[in-house]
Amino acid sequence: MTDNSTDGAGDAPTVRSATLSAREDRPDATIESHDDTVVCRGHVRGRDGAAMAALGGATYDAEADELRVVVVTERDPDAGPMSIQAIAELGYDVAVEFAGGLPGTVTLVEDDADGRREAFVASL
């Protein structure tokens, strides 16, 4: 999934794109930056085998100089009517590409079977 926001105009950083990729493993929540990209890594818990990790949003607040990344779970559209009735551990990477610099703070929010919580906050 990709969330395209704005094309870098002015002095403040702007989000060019945000993409979520599934992972096979279940990493602990982390946030890293590389050049013009912020990478958020972690895992969410789905209610059953039909769940998948999805990007709920990647928004930059220029006034607070904060990027807020939200990862949610949703039903996989390719899942059939029958699914395993067990909690699914879903690893993910979210890459957010910026123009005009990086944000000062990044907050990673996970919203899953366990509820909504701030999983990690980092200053860049």
Nearest to 22 by CA among 36, 41, 38: 41
Per the CB < 8 A criterion, the answer to whether 13 and 98 are in contact is yes
Look at residue 8 and tell me whether its pLDDT is greater than 60.
Answer: no
- In percent, the amount of the chain with pLDDT more than 90 equals 81
In the structure, what pLDDT confidence band is assigned to residue 60 with cuts at 50, 70 and 90? Answer: very high
Span of 36-40, 48-52, 102-106 with lowest mean pLDDT: 48-52
Beta strand 105-112 with 66-75: parallel, antiparallel or unpaired? parallel
pLDDT at 94 over 90: yes
Measured between its terminal Cα atoms, the distance across the chain in Å is 25
The answer to whether the beta carbons of residues 15 and 61 sit under 8 Å apart is no
Distance CA 9, CA 100 (A): 8
Reply yes or no on whether the pLDDT at 7 is more than 70. no
What's the mean pLDDT when you consider all of the chain? 91
pLDDT on residue 10:
58
